[in-house]
Amino acid sequence: MAERLHDQQFALSRHLRDPSAHPPPPGIEERRLAIYRDLFFNNIEGLLAGNFPVIRQTLGDDAWRRLVRQFYANHRSHTPLFPEIAREFIRFLEDRAPDPDTPWLRELAHYEWVELALQIADDAVPAHDPDGDLLAGVPVVSPFAWALAYQWPVHRIGPDYRPASPPDAPTCLLVRRGADHQVRFSALSPLVYRLIELLGERRRSGAEALRQLADEAGVDDVTAFIEQGAAMLARMRQEGTLSGTDPAAAP
């Protein structure tokens, strides 16, 4: 009896996920099946539409629903948690073959997901001295400030702009959650993106990071570059990208 019930439940779940490929178990009224099919699919579609509004608008209703239907039918999620459904959608896009008509889709999905991910992030803030010397000390990058680099200009893609080829330069963005829990996006130059990357890679002083950056960029006047970089580090602390310096590595 238990085995038969399990088989019926499995047949029903397969049918609800992909009714075109899997018939329903016998004995269930079609009217009830239709209600369940619509209820389950519409819940997932509505949740994803709220997380990926730009993708939905850019693809249009029909293409969007086909994409969600493919996700619903074929992707095997690693978690049942609703806040993680958007991440599962990105995994689905990463696993499928790229669509030549929407080569930017994976990156656009990640860009849209980042806002939700940062809103619910609960990383512990490392110990830091908010007034520490950013040049002599080791700057601490806030866990709520993410530097991102994309091949496509994801912040511009929408119904009126669907690029066929990526630009020559990457799109670098800073996504930061402020004390008011609002998530803000801003453009980064490749140089500042690399600086944040260097500061997050390992324990190095601000001056060491700036010297390495100057070396990578082929800067002649390193002293002037570090002076300008010091002002940049101060602005990054003021805006919240840097929390301060590591007290355990105080000079």
Q: How far apart are CA 213 and CA 242, in angstroms?
A: 17
The per-residue b/e assignment along 176-194, b for 16 or more CB within 10 angstroms, e otherwise, is: bbeeeeebeeeebeeebbb
Where in the chain is CATH 3.90.930?
A: 139-249
Where in the chain is CATH 1.10.150?
A: 2-96
How confident is the model at residue 2, as a pLDDT? 47
- Of residues 219, 210, 170, the one with CA closest to residue 190: 170
Give the class (CATH, top level) of 139-249.
Answer: alpha beta
2-96 maps to CATH 1.25.40: no
- Any residues with CB less than 8 A from the CB of 202 and at least 6 apart, and which? none
pLDDT in tens, the chain (251 residues): 445 655 556 555 665 666 665 666 666 766 776 666 677 788 889 999 999 999 999 999 999 999 999 998 888 877 777 778 999 999 999 999 889 999 999 999 999 999 989 988 888 888 899 999 999 999 999 999 999 999 999 999 999 999 999 999 999 999 999 888 899 999 999 999 999 999 988 788 999 999 999 999 999 999 999 999 999 999 999 999 999 999 887 66
Tell me if 63 sits within 8 A of 159, measured CB to CB: no
Query: What region, left, alpha or beta, does residue 146 occupy, with left being phi > 0 and alpha being psi -120 to 50 degrees?
Result: beta
Q: How far apart are CA 166 and CA 191, in angstroms?
A: 20
Q: How far apart are CA 168 and CA 149, in angstroms?
A: 13
Tell me if 149 sits within 8 A of 169, measured CB to CB: no
**pTM of the prediction?**
0.85
Tell me if 217 sits within 8 A of 251, measured CB to CB: no
How confident is the model at residue 22, as a pLDDT? 63
